[in-house]
Amino acid sequence: MRRAFSSRWRLSAYHTQLVLLLAPFVVGTFLLIFVPMTITLALGFTEYDLFSPPRWNDFQNFKNWAADLLFQRALYNSAWFVLIAVPLRVLGALLLAMFLNRSGRAFGVGRAAIYLPTMIPEVAYALIWLLLLNPGFGAVNLLLNALGLPSVGWTLEPFPARVSVTVMWLFQLGEGFVLMLAALQLIPQDVLEVALLDGANRWQRFRYIILPFMVPALLLLTFRDVALSFQGVFVAGLLTTETGPYYTTYFLPHYVYDEAFGLFRYGYASATTSLVYVVTIAIVAGLFFAVRRWRRDDAFE
């Protein structure tokens, strides 16, 4: 650290003050995120039932995965969800941002409307959808009936239940939407202008100018979304579809919660949580390095 700081010693006091400002964040995240994650990683190699101290059992927890049908179910469901919901959300955020990136009161209302569902607290949001998806008198089925279509058992059948949870998550793409809007407006207008005068069509403008400029923001959004979507379905799956029917909306967070707190197999649950983290990091790192060569502008750093 010291050699990174300037040799102008008058500024070293300033840098000390900056470090002080950084301290709460660093100390806090160390204690509240870094240490717990490390403990969790370590506990993944133990057998711990919360009553007596943890016992090392090396890789036994990981071997148990092979035989644990419920784990495989939860893993499959979570993987399905992440692979489908994240691209949809990111794409949706991008497209909506491109569509609504213009001035005018009506478009302002549109932007606000898109952001609103994100602000609804989890529990209230799940309850609203519980009402909307009720097979007998929920608004969704009432709407379908008004259009002459038959009702669908949204929380009753496996595939509709998955669709329900996904749609609920998609409705909350507002945060990403705002991020995309900001990134869109960062694109220098003169480059676009030159492209126009050169006769580039819409697709070419998008592919060769807009997209490359958007890449850092897209990456950040995707990273965050991958991490969030592992955990984000917890309340929805619990309250709206009750992890059913028959475990079709039973995701890894539910599994970990049940294992840790319901069955007191906390070491085993920690191993699963560690898996979620490792997979998230792997996806994020993979995306980062795959896309790095596309970056034209040092916009992120």
Partner 1 sequence: MRLNNSRIPRSDEFIRTNRGTNKFVTTRAVGTLITYALLAIVIALFLFPLVWMFSYAVRSVNLPAPSQLEFFTPPLAFENFARLNEFFPLSQFALNSLRIVAFAVPLTLLTASWAGFAIAQLPPRARNFFLGMSIALMLVPALATWIPRFVLFAQLGWIDSILPVLAPAVMGTNPFFVILFYLAFRRVPREVYESAYLDGANALRIWWSIALPLARPALLAVAILAAAYYWSNYADALLYLRREINYTLPIGVQLLEKAQANNFPLMMAAAVIMVAPVLVLFLFVQPYFLQGKIAERWLK
Partner 2 sequence: MLRRILILVVIGLSVMVIAACGNAPTQTTSGAQEIVFAVNEEPEELTAFQSVVEKFNAANPSIKVTLANTPDDDEFTKKLAADIAARTPPDLILFNYRRIGPFVIKGAVQPVDDYFAASASIKPADFYATAIDAFKFKGMQMCVPLNLSQLQIYYNVDLFKAANVPLPTKDWTWADFLATAKALTQDTNGDGKTDQYGVGIARQAIRLMPFIWQHGGELVDNAERPTQLVLDQGVALEAFQWFVDLQVKEKVVPNKEAEATENSQSRFQNGTLAMFFQSRVLTPELRATVKNFAWDVAPLPMDKTRATILHSDGFCILKDSTKKDAAWKFIEFMAGKEGQRALAETGRTVPALISVAQSDAFLKSNPPAGNQVYLDMAQAVRPLPLMTTWLEVESALNQEITRAFWGDVTAAEAAKAAVENTREYFKRNLIDLGSP
Binding mask 29-58 for partner 1 (x = CB under 8 A): x-xxxxxxx-xx---------x--------
Q: Under the criterion CB under 8 A, does residue 227 sit at the interface with partner 1?
A: yes
Question: What is the Cα 108 distance to its own chain's centre?
Answer: 25
**Straight-line distance from the first to the last Cα atom of the chain, in angstroms, rounded to the nearest whole number:** 19
CA proximity to 128, closest of 240, 221, 30, 26 = 240
Q: How far is the CB of 277 from partner 1 (least distance, A)?
A: 6
Q: Which stretch binds partner 1 (CB under 8 A): 58-66, 83-91, 133-141, 154-162?
A: 133-141
Partner whose binding site includes residue 262, from partner 2, partner 1, none (CB under 5 to 8 Å by kind): partner 2
Residue 134 in tokens: 């009720």
Q: Under the criterion CB under 8 A, does residue 178 sit at the interface with partner 1?
A: yes
Q: Under the criterion CB under 8 A, does residue 203 sit at the interface with partner 1?
A: no
Residues pairing with 47 in the sheet? 55
CA proximity to 239, closest of 79, 129, 118 = 129
Contact yes or no for 103/238 (Cβ under 8 A): no
Residue 245: is the preceding peptide bond cis (ω within 30°)? yes
Residues pairing with 46 in the sheet? 56
Q: Quote the CA–CA distance of 91 and 180 in Å, as a whole number.
A: 10
CA proximity to 274, closest of 94, 41, 92 = 41
Q: Under the criterion CB under 8 A, does residue 28 sit at the interface with partner 1?
A: yes
Q: Quote the CA–CA distance of 229 and 169 in Å, as a whole number.
A: 8
The residue (of 58 and 301) whose beta carbon lies closer to partner 1 is 301
Q: Quote the CA–CA distance of 31 and 29 in Å, as a whole number.
A: 5
CA proximity to 81, closest of 248, 239, 241, 286 = 248
Site for partner 1 in 83-102 (CB under 8 A): 96, 99-100, 102
Q: Out of 230, 250, 251, 268, which residue is the one contacting partner 1 (CB under 8 A)? A: 230
Q: Under the criterion CB under 8 A, does residue 213 sit at the interface with partner 1?
A: no
Site for partner 1 in 61-80 (CB under 8 A): none
Q: Out of 70, 83, 91, 124, which residue is the one contacting partner 1 (CB under 8 A)? A: 124
Residues that bind partner 2 (CB under 8 A): 17, 20, 49-52, 67, 69, 134-137, 153, 155-156, 246-247, 257, 261-264, 266
Q: Out of 57, 79, 110, 163, which residue is the one contacting partner 1 (CB under 8 A)? A: 110
Partner whose binding site includes residue 1, from partner 1, partner 2, none (CB under 5 to 8 Å by kind): partner 1
The residue (of 91 and 113) whose beta carbon lies closer to partner 1 is 113
Per DSSP, the three-state class of 201 is coil
Q: How far is the CB of 158 from partner 1 (least distance, A)?
A: 23
Q: How far is the CB of 121 from partner 2 (least distance, A)?
A: 18
